[in-house]
Structures are given as C-alpha cells and as structure tokens.
Amino acid sequence: MANSKYEYVKTFEQSTSLLPNTYMIVRIDGRGFHKLSAKYKFEKPNDRHALELMNAAATAVMKELPDITCAYGISDDFILDRSSRLFERRESKILTTVVSTFTSYYVHLWSNFFADKPLSPPMPSFDGRVVLYPSSSNLRDYMSWRQVDCHINNLYNTTFWSLVLKGGMDATQAENRLKGTIASEKNEILFSEFKMNYNNEAEIFKKGSIIYRDYDSTSSVLNRKASAPADYSSEKSELSKTQKEKERKRHVKASIAIEHTDIIRDEFWEHRPWLLS
C-alpha cells in the first residue's frame, strides 16, 4: 500500500504477544448451546452425534494448524494446546484463527451428523480465550481439571436426566433431589431406581475426547522427542527455515487419533511423550 497521510492510523493497532516458552491453550465454548441443544433436540444428557461433530471440527482445525499437538473436548467445550511460534505468538491472530476455523468446520460438517436437521439462524458460534502455562505440570493439571469437570458434570447430568426422563420428575424436583448429594449417592440413585451402573456408561460421555497427533509407530520415542516442537529457551536452539519446513511436514503427515481415556494418570502422557515436549 502506498504511503498516504492516513497511514499513521495503523500505529493505533495494538497487539499482544504471548509470552515465549509457554504452552498456549485455546479454550473454546459454544455460545448458548443450552438453547441450541434444545432447538435441535440433542439427546439428553449426551447427544453422541453432537459430540462427534465437535470432535470432527477439532480434528479439522488440527489438520489446518499443524502446530496444535492435542485437543480435549467435553460438551460444547474444547481446548487446543500448542507450544510454538505460530503467527509470531500474536494472541489475537491465534485466537481468532482457531475459533473461526473451528466454527466454519462445525457448520460445514453439521449435515454429516444431523442430516435430518438443517441448520437455521441463529447459527452456532463459539467464544474463545487463550491461557498460557509455563510448565508441563501446569498443563497436565489443566487437562486433569477439565477431565474431572467432565466426570462431575456427566454423573450429575446422567442422574438428573434419569430422574426427569425415567422418574417423571420436573427439573426443579430433580434439582432438589440432587442438592447436596455426593458421587456415591448419585451412583446409588442410578443403580437402585433406574437399574443403571454408571461404570457401564459410554467412555466418550464419562471421559470426554482427547485428540492428538500420533506419529508413525516405526519412529522411536527418542526420534519423536528429538523432532518435537522447538525448545526456544535459548537463541541457539532456533530452527533453520528448512528444519522448520521439515518439522511442519512431519506434523501434517502424522495421523490424528481420538480416544476416550484417562488423561489424569501418568500413563497416557508417558506413552506419548511428544505431547509434553
């Protein structure tokens, strides 16, 4: 763009650069999904197609943004984690790109999961925030916090909707019945009143979905570690352009796995060390 007397307005732009050497998490959340889930008659407490659509949108985001190492989702809530120099770590660029890419795919893929329920305005939208974590143990705790939340919410929702759909209660009665109950009491209500063993509920409901880049199983763990995202704690470790390109291609080539498994215990992370490097 040619210089003009108007160009000074550009200097009013503000941009936040995210702290280097930290894990960046983008957490997105559907706007008004309580209403949206009623409008499209999502199955309660969990609509499997709606969850699979969220997973498909997250997978598409990971394909378009190879720097993202993993994602975790429950309900209308998704976190995408990466530690990289994506967009020079400009916060607004990262956040808006992830949220808008996710939203586009959610809408684009909708009909694959709800062929008989065409979307109509108001269209689904998502908000998002970026959170930074300086250590892998903070990151692990964050992931654990989300999965504990998933468990607590799912046990509550499963019991609540059993009382409403099978027990004939209205929402207020079910809420009152559950007020102050601990986990074992909710399990007991499910078992004695509805012949349901909570442990037998689907893993995708109980544990949420962890989506991650999975590298060729022929490459050793050491290789994976060595070629994991750059450690830029020192200037010396800066990657050359060709190295960066090689790295990007490796991320693009990796397959993307979806599991519904425990991410609180060490095991998941110990077997996939590249996710925390």
Applying CB under 6 A, which residues contact ligand ATP? Answer: 29-34, 37, 42, 44, 46-47, 50-51, 75-76
Closer by beta carbon to Mg ion, 74 or else 276: 74
**Residue showing the smallest CB distance to Mg ion in the complex:** 29
CA gap 148, 203 in Å, rounded? 14
Q: Which of 124, 155, 129 is nearest to 33 (CA)?
A: 124
- By the rule CB under 5 A, 54 interacts with Mg ion: no
Give 22's contacts (C-beta < 8 A, 6+ positions apart). 83, 132, 133, 134
Considering only residues 71-130, where is the footprint of Mg ion by CB under 5 A? 76-77
Residue type, 113: F
Q: What angle do CA 187, 189, 191 make, to 5 degrees?
A: 65
Among 24, 26, 27, 33, binds Mg ion (CB under 5 A): 33
Among 18, 29, 239, 259, binds Mg ion (CB under 5 A): 29
Return the range that interacts with Mg ion (CB under 5 A); candidates 28-36, 65-73, 157-165, 203-211.
Answer: 28-36
Residue type, 140: R
What are the Cα distances from residue 236, in Å, to 118, 233, 244? Answer: 53, 9, 14
Residue 91 near which of ligand ATP, Mg ion, none (CB within 5-8 Å, type-dependent): none
Q: What is the CA radius of gyration of the chain?
A: 22
Distance of CA 194 to the CA centre of its chain: 32
User: Least Å distance between CB 13 and ligand ATP?
Assistant: 13
User: Least Å distance between CB 94 and ligand ATP?
Assistant: 12
Q: Which of 30, 110, 105, 29 is nearest to 65 (CA)?
A: 105
User: Least Å distance between CB 237 and ligand ATP?
Assistant: 26
Residue 72: left (phi > 0), alpha (psi -120 to 50), or beta? Answer: beta
- Please, are residues 167 and 174 in contact by the beta-carbon 8 Å criterion? yes
Residue 50 near which of Mg ion, ligand ATP, none (CB within 5-8 Å, type-dependent): ligand ATP
User: Least Å distance between CB 42 and Mg ion?
Assistant: 13
DSSP conformational letter for 126: E
User: Least Å distance between CB 143 and ligand ATP?
Assistant: 19
Burial class (CB in 10 A: 0-12, 13-18, 19+), 80: buried
User: Least Å distance between CB 153 and ligand ATP?
Assistant: 8
User: Least Å distance between CB 52 and ligand ATP?
Assistant: 9
Return the range that interacts with Mg ion (CB under 5 A); candidates 11-19, 30-38, 210-218, 222-230.
Answer: 30-38
**Residue showing the smallest CB distance to ligand ATP in the complex:** 34
Residue 63 near which of ligand ATP, Mg ion, none (CB within 5-8 Å, type-dependent): none
Closer by beta carbon to ligand ATP, 44 or else 177: 44
Strand-strand pairing, 209-214 and 255-259: antiparallel
Q: Which residues bind Mg ion (CB under 5 A)?
A: 29-30, 33, 76-77
